Copies of this chain bind each other. A is one copy, B any other.
């Protein structure tokens, strides 16, 4: 159950209709690690941070069984910083500040002991970096999952197309799926994207749930209807961590088990949004998670009685 997670470890400053934070710890790989470490020890982390990244956070991650051998610490630069403001619908946001800092130099070198990992999670990054990580693996992992975003479709489409040919699962949101495929209908978008390389496509729709496409099959998982969505930051990465964490734990990459992985990811994401940052992810127990998964089962469970 060896899992590599590649992505950012960063600071975020977040404004929502319900409050705002100063700089807090964020970054895609941070959320993926907190989520996946519910299932996998060790999570082999690959990232880059500056001198200002809190040692306490690194200790927290280590305690959860996250291997930080692949996390480069740059002594004379600051960590990546992102600031954004959410709209009332909590599904859309404006970026206020993006300070790349250390991320401008990110050129990950995999430790040797990472190179035989069976599961590889490529967080949203420059596709050239994603490709470089894939190429450093000693053997083709059992499953490669990648996230990306519209930014790379705008400026690095050829490199993105190269990575897509080498991954098993692509995770994107609905607008990214539409942009990548040039199709408005998500069913048509999925057909196009599945012809570009990935064998599985997960379309994240935020509060409207997620769709899993594979061959001519489709599975839908709702988001849990919540009283409060306090901060959606990291929900997609938390979803990704639960998704690949469950698959890596069970070592079963069948369509049926991917459905379970989507429910597990959705359950974890439903915790993430309840507090700012990754706070809530550090609190939850195995029982909390099991109870929340039961809520998902109740939410969609029905018996058809037509007569």
Contacts and interface: CB of A to CB of B under 8 A. Distances in A.
B297 A263 contact: no
Contact of A304 (B222, B297, B304): B297
9 contacts: A185-B228, A188-B227, A205-B208, A211-B225, A219-B302, A220-B222, A221-B302, A259-B303, A260-B302
A306 B260 contact: yes
B259 A302 contact: yes
Interface string A166-202: 0000000000000000001111100000000000000
A299 interface: yes
Interface in A214-239: 217-222, 225-229
Nearest to A286: B306
A88 B303 contact: no
Interface of A: 88, 184-188, 205, 208-209, 211, 217-222, 225-229, 246, 250, 252, 256-257, 259-260, 263-264, 290, 293, 297-300, 302-307
A178 to B, nearest CB: 10
Contact of A263 (B217, B246, B302): B302
Most buried by B among A222, A246, A264: A222
Contacts of A184: 88
A302 B254 CA distance: 12
A227 B187 contact: yes
